[in-house]
Homo-oligomer: A and B are copies of this chain.
């Protein structure tokens, strides 16, 4: 590609918060495009860093959680996931904490697979996906007051069948799972 002509970032002219609550922070930016055109109303949603985990037990089972997702109105199987908070030094720390809290599993070998965005147009955060190989149950769940989560062990084939039936909807989980399957030639 001719780098001279590459697309350039747009300039932020002004920025104003509409709402700043723990579960929704939204601002309206006024932007100027490189050709000078003004974009008077561009909305950005601010979120903390997110994490999720492809956790595989010592027996080779894939650890999924099941919960209600209200915006889409569905109960679905998902990867264990959560939000990085003040007590987490790194996304990896957040991922280990969330896996232990939501499932009671810990241990194993951890590597980061990918960092993706739910929507870079409107959301300012990334989600980091870790692979945790060889996790074991070490405690019971420790859920927040408004968390209602059950824990499930899937074989690889059951997980692939679930993905092929489009029953896991959350693209931040589906993307790293298909990458893991493709890169490890598991199909």
Contacts and interface: CB of A to CB of B under 8 A. Distances in A.
A73 B175 contact: no
Given A10-B70, A70-B121, 20 more contacts: A1-B152, A6-B66, A8-B68, A19-B26, A21-B41, A23-B41, A23-B42, A23-B43, A23-B122, A33-B146, A69-B120, A71-B119, A71-B122, A72-B120, A116-B171, A116-B174, A118-B171, A118-B172, A119-B172, A126-B169
A37 interface: yes
Interface stretch (A89-97, A98-106, A179-187): A179-187
A161 interface: no
A179 B163 contact: yes
Contacts of A7: 66-68, 75, 148-150
Interface of A: 1, 5-10, 18-19, 21, 23-24, 26, 29, 31, 33-35, 37, 39, 41-45, 66-76, 114-124, 126-127, 145-146, 148-150, 152, 163, 166, 169-172, 174-175, 178-179, 181-183, 185-187
A154 to B, nearest CB: 11
A170 B71 contact: no
Contacts of A18: 18-19
A130 B160 CA distance: 20
A57 to B, nearest CB: 17
Nearest to A44: B71
11 contacts: A7-B66, A21-B41, A23-B41, A26-B26, A37-B146, A71-B120, A74-B120, A116-B171, A117-B170, A119-B172, A182-B186
B169 A120 contact: yes
